């Protein structure tokens, strides 16, 4: 129909235009169709002077039209018709208004509904709800109230009325789609957080295992884990589930639990992988598999036992040379009868790196991979750093390059503070005259660590007070017996150890006096307590003497 100039329009047409404007406006009030549509349909029924009207929406997945709303003597809400079937189905299939003047003499009319409801359909107009993407449903009116039959004008008016209705429904569906998208996004975020919460908590102090996991998307197929064994050894696990997305993530959760469950019984690493593999082969059916490496570390002897199921080769780095430790068997979940070998070595001061292939798949150009040599280069570049900052530096490098896959790194290395070589080692007789030299040496060592002068002087004071206490109280006065001072580092902490050969000190006898009392003596211990983060007195391991261990956290970045 051509646009009708308002001035030229007749009374009926003016009425139609006003109705259209009102209808469009009322449909635009809300995106919730349940609010706007019942009223709209009953207004359409009145305006068209019809006995009944119904709104059908297309379910594209099923290829059917379902009556979502109706007005009139018979409630057909929920009724479905196939696209192409009956008047409504044909209207949508052809995307064209259907006029059935005389229902009794028209083959398009499905007599079933009348037969079931007792309603008598005399005349029908049905207009498609047309959108740019095709029809999304149909609007149907039935029977003129005055008993006459619908004509071409009615069909044209209904086609016009259907346009704003289609627009409103399209908008509402679009909005609903957005809401759905947001819901999925929220659930993915929740899944990501749950996955993250499954990773073991970073352990403070001189713990030798560190791991990081960088998911390429919300959900990761990589994982790592470490835990204490009843015999005191540490167990560690790293893995990579083939594929991506939710199903890989679910398999990850299952395999991670299985690895931990089997691993807590401390089987030899080869047998550990063997059992997990056998169990996995029972429940993995869709060709998925898991690459994993597992191991145990005995801190006392420094022994590492390691086994790998198709995991990228581990790297053992002594600061200069790399040794490559290849996989001992196929990935988990492929061959139920697979055997896994294992290897044993002494860690010493070396660092063991385990990394998922995401670390080497990092892109260095449009198509170039970082590769294992690239990763070795990065490790070597940061070899001078302590484990924690080194791992962070590596991670920073990988992030700056283009991450295409989940990336997980596990580092096993004794922190330097726990190693034999300290930053300063001194042994001197328990004499006050020694202290000036000890303080100078300590200042020098702290300066070398980049400690700010103010903090340095405080630390020197605390150590001096501790030595003074050993001379005066532990040894009961100056003597030729020795005091040993060792300064070490554990991550972000300086560790001061003073060892004497005096009779055992009962820590309960050491009372902290209140600094607010003004008294000449007993200030040494309060000074130590105020200046250090913590301190404790332990019996020396060989039973001779005491060890005073004092620790102080130093701001990172200032050092290294």
Partner 1 sequence: MNAVENTCVTEDLGGYALVRVGGEVDLSWSQKVRDAILAALRGGDVGVELSRVAYIDSSGIAALVEGFQTARGKGRRFALIAASKPVLAVLQLARLDKVFVLFADVEAARAG
Q: Residue 78's closest CA among 87, 70, 88, 68?
A: 68
Least Å distance, CB 383 to partner 1, is 34
Least Å distance, CB 468 to partner 1, is 5
Rounded Cα–Cα distance for residues 109 and 120 (Å): 12
Which range of residues in 109-117, 141-149, 158-166, 527-535 is near partner 1 by CB under 8 A? 527-535
Residues counted in the chain: 560
> What backbone phi and psi angles, to 5 degrees, belong to 236?
-140, 155
Instruction: Decide if residue 512 touches partner 1 (CB under 8 A).
Output: no
Sequence-ordered list of residues with C-beta below 8 angstroms from that of 8, at least 6 positions apart, any chain: none
Least Å distance, CB 435 to partner 1, is 5
Residue 396 CA from chain centroid, whole number: 18
Structure tokens at 4: 């009708």
Rounded Cα–Cα distance for residues 546 and 130 (Å): 89
Q: Which one of 8, 147, 519, 541 is in contact with partner 1 (CB under 8 A)?
A: 519
Q: Which one of 2, 133, 480, 516 is in contact with partner 1 (CB under 8 A)?
A: 516
Residue number, 55 or 466, with CB nearest to partner 1: 466
Least Å distance, CB 458 to partner 1, is 8
Least Å distance, CB 476 to partner 1, is 14
Residues of this chain, 471-500, that bind partner 1 according to CB under 8 A: 471-472
Least Å distance, CB 478 to partner 1, is 9
Q: Which one of 515, 533, 555, 556 is in contact with partner 1 (CB under 8 A)?
A: 515
Question: What is 120-171 written as a DSSP string?
Answer: ----EEEEEEEETTEEEEEEEEEEETTS----HHHHHHHHHHHHHHHHHHHH
Instruction: Decide if residue 530 touches partner 1 (CB under 8 A).
Output: yes
CB atoms within 10 A of CB 444: 11
Residue number, 62 or 513, with CB nearest to partner 1: 513
Q: SS3 of 394, please?
A: helix
Sequence-ordered list of residues with C-beta below 8 angstroms from that of 330, at least 6 positions apart, any chain: 309, 310, 338
Q: Residue 165's closest CA among 68, 99, 51, 59?
A: 68
Least Å distance, CB 426 to partner 1, is 16
Q: SS3 of 480, please?
A: coil
Instruction: Decide if residue 526 touches partner 1 (CB under 8 A).
Output: yes
Q: H or E element: which one contains 269? A: helix 269-283
Residue number, 456 or 493, with CB nearest to partner 1: 456
Q: Residues of 487-525 as b/e, b for ≥16 C-beta within 10 angstroms? A: bbbbbbbbbbbbbbbbeebeeeeeeeeeeeeeeeeeebb
Q: Which one of 521, 541, 543, 557 is in contact with partner 1 (CB under 8 A)?
A: 521
Which range of residues in 22-30, 203-211, 223-231, 516-524 is near partner 1 by CB under 8 A? 516-524
Count of residues near partner 1 by CB under 8 A? 29
Least Å distance, CB 431 to partner 1, is 8
> What backbone phi and psi angles, to 5 degrees, belong to 325?
-115, 105
Least Å distance, CB 200 to partner 1, is 40
Residue number, 423 or 435, with CB nearest to partner 1: 435
Residue number, 76 or 531, with CB nearest to partner 1: 531
Binding mask 425-464 for partner 1 (x = CB under 8 A): ------xxx-xx--x---x----------x--xx-xx--x
Residue number, 51 or 465, with CB nearest to partner 1: 465
Q: Residue 62's closest CA among 28, 85, 39, 36?
A: 85
Q: Applying CB under 8 A, which residues contact partner 1?
A: 431-433, 435-436, 439, 443, 454, 457-458, 460-461, 464-465, 468, 471-472, 515-516, 518-521, 523-524, 526-527, 530-531
């Amino acid at each position: 129909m051509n646009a009708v100039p308002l001035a030229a329009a007749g009374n009926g047409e003016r009425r139609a235009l006003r109705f259209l404007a009102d209808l469009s406006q009322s449909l635009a009030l809300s995106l919730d169709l349940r609010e706007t549509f019942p009223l709209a349909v009953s207004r359409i029924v009145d305006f068209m002077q019809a006995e009944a009207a119904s709104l059908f929406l297309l379910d594209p997945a099923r290829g059917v039209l379902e009556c979502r709303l109706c007005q009139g003597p018979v409630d057909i809400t929920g009724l479905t018709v196939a696209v192409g079937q009956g008047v409504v189905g044909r209207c949508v299939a052809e995307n064209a208004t259907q006029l059935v003047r005389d229902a009794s003499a028209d083959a398009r009319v499905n007599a079933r509904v009348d037969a079931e409801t007792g309603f008598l359909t005399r005349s029908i107009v049905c207009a498609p709800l047309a959108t740019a993407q095709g029809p999304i449903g149909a609007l149907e009116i039935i029977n003129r109230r005055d008993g006459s039959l619908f004509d071409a004008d009615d069909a044209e008016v209904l086609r016009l009325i259907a346009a704003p209705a289609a627009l409103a429904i399209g908008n509402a569906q679009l909005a609903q789609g957005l809401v759905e998208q947001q819901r999925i996004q929220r659930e993915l975020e929740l899944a990501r957080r749950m996955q993250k919460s499954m990773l073991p908590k970073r352990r403070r102090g001189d713990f030798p295992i560190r791991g990081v996991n960088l998911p390429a998307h919300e959900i990761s197929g990589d994982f790592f884990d470490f835990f204490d064994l009843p015999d005191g050894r540490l167990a560690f696990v790293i893995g990579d589930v083939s594929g991506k997305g939710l199903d890989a993530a679910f398999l990850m959760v299952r395999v991670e639990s299985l690895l931990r469950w089997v691993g807590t019984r401390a089987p030899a690493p080869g047998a550990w992988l063997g059992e997990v593999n056998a169990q996995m082969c029972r429940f993995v059916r869709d060709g998925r598999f898991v690459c994993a490496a597992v191991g145990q570390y005995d801190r006392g002897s420094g022994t590492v036992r390691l086994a790998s199921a198709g995991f990228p080769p581990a790297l053992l780095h002594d600061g200069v040379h790399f040794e490559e430790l290849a996989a001992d068997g196929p990935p988990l979940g492929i061959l139920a009868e697979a055997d896994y070998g294992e290897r044993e070595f002494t860690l010493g001061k070396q660092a063991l790196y385990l990394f998922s292939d995401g670390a080497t798949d990092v892109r260095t150009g449009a198509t170039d991979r970082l590769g294992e040599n690239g990763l070795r280069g990065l490790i070597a570049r940061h070899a001078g750093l302590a484990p924690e900052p080194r791992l962070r530096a590596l991670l920073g490098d990988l992030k700056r390059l283009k991450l295409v896959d989940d990336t997980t790194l596990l580092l096993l290395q004794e922190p330097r503070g726990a190693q034999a070589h300290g930053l300063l080692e001194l042994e001197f007789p328990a004499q006050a005259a020694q202290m000036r030299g000890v303080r100078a040496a300590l200042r020098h060592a702290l300066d070398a660590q980049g400690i700010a002068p103010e903090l340095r002087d405080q630390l020197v004071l605390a150590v001096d007070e501790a030595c003074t206490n050993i001379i005066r109280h532990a040894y009961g006065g100056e003597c030729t017996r020795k005091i040993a001072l060792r300064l070490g580092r554990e991550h972000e902490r300086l560790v001061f150890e003073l060892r004497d050969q005096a009779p055992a000190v009962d820590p309960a006898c050491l009372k902290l006096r209140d600094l607010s009392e003004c008294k000449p003596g007993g200030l040494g211990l309060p000074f130590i307590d105020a200046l250090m983060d913590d301190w404790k007195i332990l019996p020396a391991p060989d039973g001779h003497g005491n060890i005073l261990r004092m620790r102080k956290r130093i701001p990172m970045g200032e050092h290294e």
